[in-house]
Amino acid sequence: MITIKGLSKVFHTKDKQVTAVDNLDLSIKKGEIYGVIGYSGAGKSTFIRLLNRLEDPTDGKVTINDQELTSLRKGKLRVARQEIGMIFQHFNLLWSRTVHDNIAFPLEIAGTPKAERQKRVDELIDLVGLSGRGNSYPSQLSGGQKQRVGIARALANNPKVLLCDEATSALDPETTDSILDLLVDINEKLGLTIVLITHEMHVIRKICHQVAVMEEGKIVEQGDVLDVFLHPKQQVTKKFVDQVMGDPEKEHSLGLIKDNYKSGEIVRLHFVGDSANQALISDLSRKFELDVNILHGKITQTQKGAYGTMFVQLEGTKEEINRAIQYIKETSVEVEVNPNV
């Protein structure tokens, strides 16, 4: 669906040159919700603007639906962009136009007949949950409602791809969740491919199938969201995972655990998918001559299933602890003995 090869963008100033996007290769399948996450300055906003050529690349190719956008001239590019919708962090609505007229605007540009425009706008107002607000102006709407208008406008020309540039970062948590639910609904109903950038791992966790982590213009880690949650390799990825798992000071927490629980063995358990529903702790207590103390843990949900981590203390004889650890290894729960950050 989307193929990116050797994509780079270099900005030149009087004093220096800045490489915002550095030789990226990426492949996104049709119908996926693909997240790109990174801290401020990682290059993610430039990256998403390169996908529809709001920025022209310094080097590399972007191919969407077998059409190489990076080689198109202005006329053909304008037509190709009709198949790529985009929503923005700060909505970018026309304040002098009503909700209806904001959504109709790209249809007017495309030359869609008035009756057809009216029908399409009404459909989109219903789709994004704004029935009855067609004659309202942006100043009369909440932040979440404004973003719903932005989403409806982006869908006006029946795009095959929807690009989301920090689409929820200006919203409160409850409104963010409602917008994310809407994006999932749109993805499922319309089969739309969605590419979103964010600095919030909660957004990735809640709706994305795949994720790429950006740092200093490069993709440093990518893969299935559940796999990245379970086995973050880069330090920046571990920080993002800790956003969701509730322990941004994991190194400090682990140090406290080790200082305060020195007897027996400390193990970290990783639960994935169906294994999160296993009664493992009670099984260990019944099957082995052990005291099992839960020290710290959390389970959260991703699009591909549950993911959780838990620190436990196993107290008993060395032999019995080893037997218990071997038993855990034979289940679908991953175990890490004497874990380090």
Last residue of a domain, one of 244, 266, 298: 244
Amino acid identity, position 134: G
Closest Cα to residue 221, out of 47, 26, 4?
A: 26
* Cα 44 from Cα 60, distance rounded (Å): 16
Kindly write down the DSSP assignment for every residue of 17-28, as one continuous string: EEEEEEEEEEEE
Tokens in use for 164? 């989301």
CATH of the domain at 232: 3.40.50.300
For residue 321, give every residue at least 6 positions away whose Cβ sits within 8 Å of its Cβ, in sequence order, or none.
Answer: 264, 265, 290, 314
Closest Cα to residue 33, out of 219, 185, 237, 213?
A: 185
For residue 141, give every residue at least 6 positions away whose Cβ sits within 8 Å of its Cβ, in sequence order, or none.
Answer: 99, 133, 149
Give the model's pLDDT for residue 310: 83
Contact 215, 184 (CB under 8 A): no
Same structural domain for residues 265 and 167?
A: no
Same structural domain for residues 95 and 69?
A: yes
Last residue of a domain, one of 185, 220, 244: 244
Distance set, CA 170 to CA 90, 163, 199, 300 (Å): 7, 17, 12, 24
Tokens in use for 2? 């989307």
* Cα 223 from Cα 82, distance rounded (Å): 29
* Cα 61 from Cα 4, distance rounded (Å): 6
Per-residue model confidence as pLDDT tens digits over 214-269: 999 999 999 999 888 878 899 999 888 887 766 544 544 555 555 665 677 888 88
pLDDT of 42 over the 50 cut = yes
Same structural domain for residues 278 and 212?
A: no
Same structural domain for residues 208 and 263?
A: no
Kindly write down the DSSP assignment for every residue of 289-308, as one continuous string: S-EEEEEEEEEEEETTEEEE
* Cα 278 from Cα 295, distance rounded (Å): 18
Contact 21, 8 (CB under 8 A): yes
Same structural domain for residues 240 and 251?
A: no
pLDDT of 30 over the 70 cut = yes
Side-chain-side CA neighbours of residue 284 (13 Å): 27
Contact 288, 299 (CB under 8 A): no
Tokens 């909505």 found at:
91
Same structural domain for residues 9 and 74?
A: yes
Closest Cα to residue 174, out of 202, 137, 214?
A: 202
Last residue of a domain, one of 214, 229, 244: 244
Same structural domain for residues 176 and 261?
A: no
Mean pLDDT of 119-148: 96
* Cα 303 from Cα 87, distance rounded (Å): 22
Same structural domain for residues 123 and 271?
A: no
Contact 80, 72 (CB under 8 A): yes
Closest Cα to residue 10, out of 51, 63, 50?
A: 50
Per-residue model confidence as pLDDT tens digits over 47-61: 999 999 999 999 999
- The pLDDT-based confidence of 63 (bands split at 50, 70, 90) is very high
Same structural domain for residues 102 and 141?
A: yes
H or E segment and range at residue 11: strand 2-12
Same structural domain for residues 9 and 80?
A: yes
For residue 125, give every residue at least 6 positions away whose Cβ sits within 8 Å of its Cβ, in sequence order, or none.
Answer: 99, 100, 103, 131, 133, 134, 152
Give the model's pLDDT for residue 248: 46
- E strand residue ranges, 83-133: 84-87
The count of domains in the chain is 2
Q: Which domain holds residue 150?
A: 2-244
pLDDT of 123 over the 60 cut = yes
Give the model's pLDDT for residue 341: 41
**For the chain, what is the mean pLDDT?**
88
CATH of the domain at 257: 3.30.70.260
Give the model's pLDDT for residue 187: 95
Closest Cα to residue 220, out of 239, 208, 235, 206?
A: 235
Tokens 């956003």 found at:
243
Same structural domain for residues 253 and 320?
A: yes
Same structural domain for residues 74 and 143?
A: yes
In the three-class reduction of DSSP (H, G, I as helix; E, B as strand; rest coil), residue 150 is classed as: helix
Closest Cα to residue 181, out of 231, 146, 144, 211?
A: 144
